[in-house]
Amino acid sequence: MTSRAETMPRRIAGTVLLLGYVVMLAMNAPGQLSYDSVEQLAEGRAGFYNSWHPPVMAWLLGFFDRLLPGTLLFLLFQSLLLLAAFLILTWLRPRGWASVAVSAAIVLSPQWLLFQGEIWKDILFADAAIAGFASLAWYGHNHRSAALVLAALLLGLAASTRQNGLVLLPVAAITLWLILRGKRVSAWRQGLIFFIALLGLTTAIQLALVPKTDGGEGTQAEILLGQSYDLTGALARAPNLGLPLDRHLRDVLSGPGTRVYSPLRSDPFAADPVVSQALSQTPDGMIGHAWWWLVQNHPLLYLQVRKSVFAAVVMTPDPLICHFSPVGVSAPTAMLKPLGLKASIRPQDRALANYAKFFFATPVFSHLAWGGLAVILLALLLWRGEASDLAVAGLLAGALLFSLSFALISIACDYRYLIFLDLSVMSACLYAVPTHEFLCRLWSRFSRRFAHPRPD
- What is the overall mean pLDDT for the chain? 91
pLDDT at 6: 63
Could you tell me which residue, 229 or 439, shows the higher pLDDT?
229
Minimal CA–CA distance to 140: which of 375, 373, 395?
395
What mean pLDDT comes out for the span 231-245? 94
pLDDT at 452: 47
Question: pLDDT by residue (tens digit) across 16-73?
Answer: 999 999 999 999 999 999 999 999 999 999 999 988 888 999 999 999 999 999 999 9
Question: pLDDT by residue (tens digit) across 147-163?
Answer: 999 999 999 999 999 98
Between the CA of residue 333 and those of 58, 121, 277, 337, 344, what are the distances in Å? 20, 22, 25, 6, 11
Angle subtended at Cα 313 by Cα 392 and Cα 80, rounded to the nearest 5 degrees:
45
What mean pLDDT comes out for the span 189-203? 94
pLDDT at 340: 93
Minimal CA–CA distance to 313: which of 404, 426, 423?
404
Is 70 exceeded by the pLDDT of residue 5? Answer: no
Q: Which residues contact 263 (CB under 8 A, 6 or more apart)?
A: 233, 308, 309, 311, 312, 413
Whole-angstrom distance, CA of residue 320 vs CA of residue 329: 17
Whole-angstrom distance, CA of residue 201 vs CA of residue 264: 35
Q: Count of CB atoms within 10 A of residue 400's CB?
A: 18
The dihedral region occupied by 195, where left means phi > 0, alpha psi between -120 and 50, and beta the remainder, is: alpha
What mean pLDDT comes out for the span 376-405? 95
What pLDDT band is residue 98 in, cutting at 50, 70 and 90?
Answer: confident
Is 60 exceeded by the pLDDT of residue 442? Answer: no
What mean pLDDT comes out for the span 173-187? 85
pLDDT at 216: 77
pLDDT at 117: 97
Q: Count of CB atoms within 10 A of residue 305's CB?
A: 24
What pLDDT band is residue 424 in, cutting at 50, 70 and 90?
Answer: very high
Is 60 exceeded by the pLDDT of residue 266? Answer: yes
Is 90 exceeded by the pLDDT of residue 314? Answer: yes
What mean pLDDT comes out for the span 402-418? 96
pLDDT at 437: 46
Question: pLDDT by residue (tens digit) across 73-96?
Answer: 999 999 999 999 999 999 887 667
Could you tell me which residue, 384 or 394, shows the higher pLDDT?
394
Whole-angstrom distance, CA of residue 135 vs CA of residue 130: 9
Is 50 exceeded by the pLDDT of residue 350? Answer: yes
What percent of the chain stands above pLDDT 90? 81
pLDDT at 96: 75
Q: Which residues contact 347 (CB under 8 A, 6 or more apart)?
A: none
